Amino acid sequence: MTDIETTLDAIGLLCPLPVLKARKRLKSLASGDVLTILADDPAAIVDVPHFCTEAGHEFLGQSDAADHQIYRIRKGG
């Protein structure tokens, strides 16, 4: 079984839209799949890990790109 990796482009969206769109996208993924979120909302650095904790997903980390951040989430069971 290969885990699927999906990217959600949330650049230009402000809180709470990146997390709301991530929640919607995760619904269509299987448990264990990875969602990569691209976002430039300053609040996402707090919102994304908090969302993972509340929703039972694994926050895999955050990294910086030139003009946005990259967040990775593994869908929980």
Is 15 designated active site?
yes
Q: By the 8 A CB rule, do 37 and 26 touch?
A: no
Secondary structure element (H or E) that encloses residue 51, with its range? helix 44-55
| Catalytic pick among 13, 15, 17, 20 | 15
Report the distance separating Cα 13 and Cα 2, nearest Å: 31
- The residues annotated as belonging to the active site are 15
